[in-house]
Amino acid sequence: MSIEKNLRKFIREEIARNMHTLDDSPHTFEDFVDYDIQIDGDSEGGFFLTIFYLDKKIFPTTKFNSREDAQSQSRLVIDNDRVARMNKNQ
């Protein structure tokens, strides 16, 4: 194939790929609909994290020093819970 044909093929593939998805932002752990992440601030500057799966508490309410720490912990908890549930169903 010539360089021009290769380039045209590449451009067509990229255009087609981009037309399939209107929202190409990445999916994160916060997008899982069965999980409910609650991060609430307190008057002392801390943040309380509670996580539910299908309305059942899977992580006890815990206090963190920052919202970022609470979000990081919620990601770890949800990742571990999802892996455990997938392995349980095998």
Number of domains in the chain: 1
Three-state DSSP string of 51-87: EEECCEEEEEEEEECCHHHHHHHHHHHHHHHHHHHHH
Per-chain mean pLDDT for the chain: 84
Position with higher pLDDT, 25 vs 49: 49
Query: Are β-strands 56-64 and 35-41 bridged in parallel, bridged antiparallel, or unpaired?
Result: unpaired
| pLDDT at residue 81 tops 60 | yes
39-48's contacts with Cβ under 8 Å and 24+ in sequence apart are 39/67, 39/70, 39/71, 39/74, 41/67
CATH code where residue 8 lies: 3.30.160
pLDDT 10s digits, 44-53:
999 999 999 9
pTM greater than 0.85 (yes/no): no
pLDDT 10s digits, 52-68:
999 999 999 999 999 99
Mean pLDDT over 64-75 rounds to 94
Domain holding 83, by residue range, is 3-88
